[in-house]
Structure 1
């Protein structure tokens, strides 16, 4: 499509031109430097691609795009007689490849420092000027992508993820809620990851790298990845900063709240996993208020939220692991920005991650399913709030990542909520007429007008009515509960508003899981919390 002078040999069109001639022309200045001054790597390569929905660019447009990119990257600045030699080749309708040698006319190496970012910035300009799909400009906080070699290796081995991605997951899950550096490394080793610490003369650990067991390079050595190669926030100094602030000890609370023994949970008593997830839901709701505070405090909460997602992914059973792992991976991009995170206000969220890991694996049945639905409902709210905080700060990529994580969390929520919601709907249908009418009136008073009528028409209102009736029997005011549940912000993006309100009502009223009740509809279950007016709860949810 284009070349450094417009006259490069073109084997694709000229039958008298050969690839050897093109190679010689490109390498002329490299050869002129001589063997003693030869560069070890003298070839620069770049591909430019349009989005599937973009219009087809003409040859002339591709040529202009190539010239602009090599100028921006420092390969051949506009008007520079010492620019490097390059060619642009169109391989398909939607992309070209640029190949260049990085020796200029003065036989010096071209200044291509920061070439990737400069080329990307020029592409963002071209997209806007030519009406193409505009990508979000990067801010340098994204994790390093796996190379093509890593991807091809994973495909050959039949692995769904590259080694880099598997190690990134392992390090994040080991860091979730960790109380010390020693615990972090111990968790990594327990997970079966090879850990290589760089130790200084003083005996202090200066850095670390990790590798998968059995993953070897051509020499038979483990394939090591340092923290920075996994993600910018996984270097040892960044990890130490996160661990420097003590976290609140909710791990013991989750175990004592469970009341479990021998791995079994009697009816109405929560398993360690369920208790931990309910604590995490409470921490998630409280954390939303912190996003309205100072940017540094909000950034700390946004970062710590990723630890809760990592902990949930690490303790999920296969039926739900895929969606939770996808949510954690999507959100990790949202957990970093250039706003310096203050960790003091995030300790409660980190403690929730620790409690989730301590609580162990969770299923979608009984108390575990209800607790999972509750925490996922709260986390969707928190992640959406994080997305809006990023958007307000101008962090376009992070905001998009948080929205993607929320979508994955919704998929996980639908799985977790299916069984307990079915039980609640059935309970709601069996409510005595007078009890059901009281809940309908409570909703009309809390949500007057058309909004209330729409909620009454939703299929999940049966479940909400059951929750309100159970809370009423325990001494709560259904109207007050509904008002408080609606005040937890964000309901516009919910698939079912009544489903979300159901879990919020149950959480505020501290009701047992749906399968626990043994009483008749409209009566409190044998394990219902003591009758206490909702207004007596000192926690604020605004």
Structure 2
């Protein structure tokens, strides 16, 4: 399609031209440097591709795109007569390959430092100018992608993920809620990961690398990945910064969370896993308020929330793990930006991650299912808020990643909420007529007009009515609970508003697990007359 001077041999069109001739003219400057000055790697290669759905570009447009990219990358800057030699070859309707030798006409090596980012920036300009699909610009904070060799190796070994991705997951889960550097490394070793610490003359650890057991290179040595090769925030200095705590907080945060139930009654009906998840839900709700403050505090919350997700992945049963793992992997991109994260507001969130790990494995049944649905519902809320915060900050990559994470969290929520929601719906259908009518009236007063009538018509209103009746029997005002539940950020993205309100009402009122059963309610608290309304919760909620 194009070349450095427009006269390069073209074996694709000219029957008298050969690939050997093309190679010779491209390597001319390389050969002129001589064997003593020969570069170890002298070939530069780049592919340019349009997105599915984009219009077909003409040969002239592909030629212009190639010229602009090699100029931006430093291969052949505009107006530089000593630029490198290059050609662009069209392999299909949607892409071309650009190949160059990086020796200039003055026999110096081309300045291609940061060529990838400069080429990508030029591609974003071309997309906008030519009306093509616009990708989100990178900001240098993304984790390194697996190489093609790593992907092919994973396919050859029938592994679902590359070694790099498996190790990244292992390091993040080991870091979740860790109280010290020693605990972090101990968790890695317990997980069956090989750990190689770089120790200085003083005996201090200067860095680390990890490898999978049984993974060997051609020489038989383990295939090591340093922290930075996994993700920018997994270097040892970044990990130490996250683990840093004031002396007054270190002893408290180092202790595992006690399964006291967080003041909920009756605590004895909940497993440690359920108790820890409900405590985490409280913490996440409080953390959402921080997003309206200083950017560095919001960034700290986003970073530590990733640890809660990693802790949920580590303690999920196999049937639940797939969606949670996909959510955690997507969110890790949203948790990292150029905004410097502050530790002040992230300590409590990291402590919640530690409590989740201490609580152990969780199922989707009984109290565990209710607690899982509750914490996932508030995590969805925070991730949506994170996406909007990143949009306001101009972080398009992070905003897109947060939206993907929210989708996976919704799928995980639907799995967790299925059984306890079915039990609540059954209880709601069996409420005495007078009790149900009171809840309907409370909803109409809290949500007047068409919006309230729409909520009453939703299938999940039976579950919401059961939650309101139980809260009323416990001394709460149903209308006030609904008003508070609606004030927790937005509801526009909910698949079912009444389902979300059900978990928010139960969470605010600190109701015990709804016992499953299809029999008559009988003498349950939900059928008794409402008690005197309890005092309003003094904690502020946005």
| TM-score, normalised via structure 2 length | 0.95
Aligned to 2:297: 297
| Unaligned runs of at least 5 residues, structure 2 | none
Judge conservation of contact 1:144–1:230 (CA < 8 Å) in 2.
yes
| Residue of structure 2 in register with 1:57 after alignment | 57
Residue 124 of structure 1 is matched in structure 2 by: 124
Number of residues of Structure 1 aligned to a counterpart in Structure 2: 534
Q: What secondary structure sits across from 2:197 in the alignment? A: strand
The 2-side partners of 1:252 and 1:86 are apart by 61
Matching residue within 255, 261, 275 for 1:257:
261
Displacement after TM superposition at 1:11 (Å): 1.1
Matched, 1:452 2:456: no
1:144-155 paired onto structure 2 within 5 Å: 144-155=144-155
Separation in structure 2 between the aligned mates of residue 271 and residue 251 of structure 1, nearest angstrom: 19
Distance 2:537 2:38 in 1: 75
Contact 2:426 2:518 in 1 (8 A): no
Aligned to 2:353: 353
**1: distance between equivalents of 2:268 and 2:4?**
76
Report if the CA contact (8 A) 2:178-2:354 is conserved.
Answer: yes
Give the structure 1 partner of residue 441 of structure 2: 441
Counterpart Cα distance in 1 of 2:145 and 2:459: 43
Partner of 1:68: 68
Out of 297-306 and 242-251, give the one that drifted further. Answer: 242-251
Matches for 1:1-20 after TM superposition, within 5 Å: 1-20=1-20
CA contact (8 A) 1:519 1:525 kept: no
| Structure-1 separation of matches of 2:516 and 2:262 | 14
Q: Superposed, which structure 2 residues align to 1:93-492 within 5 Å?
A: 93-245=93-245, 246=249, 249=253, 252-257=256-261, 269-492=269-492
Deviation at 1:6, TM superposition (A): 0.9
Q: Distance in 2 between matches of 1:43 and 1:288?
A: 50
Tell which deviates more after alignment, 240-249 or 399-408: 240-249
Pair 1:272–1:180, CA change in 2 (3 A): same
Give yes or no for contact 1:69–1:122 (8 Å, CA) kept in 2.
Answer: yes
Q: State the alpha-carbon separation in 1 of the partners of residues 392 and 262 from structure 2.
A: 40
Q: Deviations over 1:10-37 (max 9, x none)?
A: 1111111111111111111101100000
**Distance in structure 1 (CA, Å) of the matches to 2:521 and 2:367:** 19
- Alpha-carbon displacement from aligned partner over 1:391-416 (angstroms, at most 9, x marks no partner): 11111111111111011100000111
Cα deviation for residue 326 of structure 1 reads 0.3
Q: Partners in 2 of 1:379 and 1:35 — Cα distance?
A: 60
Classify 1:478/1:517 alpha carbon distance in 2 versus 1 (closer, same or farther; 3 Å). Answer: farther
- TM alignment of 1:509-520, pairs within 5 A: 509-515=509-515
Partners of 1:428 and 1:521 within 8 A in 2:
no
- Taking the aligned partners of 2:108 and 2:359, their CA distance within structure 1 comes to 61
CA 1:227–1:252: 2 relative to 1, 3 Å: closer
3-state DSSP of counterpart to 2:36: helix
Alpha-carbon separation, structure 2, partners of 1:221 and 1:194: 12
Q: Judging changes above 3 Å, is the alpha-carbon distance between structure 1 residues 75 and 532 closer, same or farther for their aligned structure 2 residues? A: farther
Task: Provide the rounded CA distance (Å) in 2 between the counterparts of 1:250 and 1:382.
Answer: 26
Q: Distance between the aligned counterparts of 1:523 and 1:74, measured in 2?
A: 79
Deviations 1:353-376 (A, max 9, x none): 111111111111111111100000
